[in-house]
Amino acid sequence: MTPVIRATFKLNEKGEPEVVEHDDLKHYRIRLQMENLPENTYAVTYLLDETYYDPVHESRDQKSFFPTELTSYGDYTLQAKVRTRERVETVATPLSAALKRSYLDNPTPQIEAALRDISEN
């Protein structure tokens, strides 16, 4: 199996994506996790867009599928370096694709709007 980056919106008490307004843009709070990892994975390093203040996030939380959190107003290519004792495997996907993968079945209108915002920016 090939490792996969999954992204989900952090939701407020109404079930709507959490937003931070900045420079007239909606920055959505997003959680990244990994799926289909080799059993002996011990760390994942996420490489975000270079415009982030801290574009490198490392997670060693295997029980929670190596999560990290970020905010984003637009789309870019995410990378994850999956580390096992034998090798380092790099996985890449657009942020919009990682989000859409999580909301294939009946997304709410608010999630559809957030997906559109991310895809169009």
End-to-end alpha-carbon separation of the chain, Å?
31
**Percentage of the residues of the chain whose pLDDT score is greater than 90:** 93
With cut-offs at 50, 70 and 90, classify the pLDDT of residue 1: confident
Phi, psi angles (nearest 5°) of residue 65: 65, 35
CA 51 vs CA 6, 47, 83, 102, 119: distances in Å: 21, 11, 24, 25, 17
Q: Residue 118 pLDDT more than 90?
A: yes
CATH of domain 4-120: 2.60.40
Other C-beta atoms within 10 Å of 113: how many? 14
Q: Residue 76 pLDDT more than 90?
A: yes
**Percentage of the residues of the chain whose pLDDT score is greater than 70:** 100
Per-residue pLDDT tens over the stretch 84-95? 999 999 999 999
Over residues 49-68, the mean pLDDT reads 96
Per-residue pLDDT tens over the stretch 15-53? 999 999 988 889 999 999 999 999 999 999 999 999 999
Over residues 64-87, the mean pLDDT reads 97
With cut-offs at 50, 70 and 90, classify the pLDDT of residue 105: confident
Q: Which residue has the higher pLDDT, 1 or 65?
A: 65
Rounded to whole angstroms, how far apart are CA atoms 20 and 29?
8
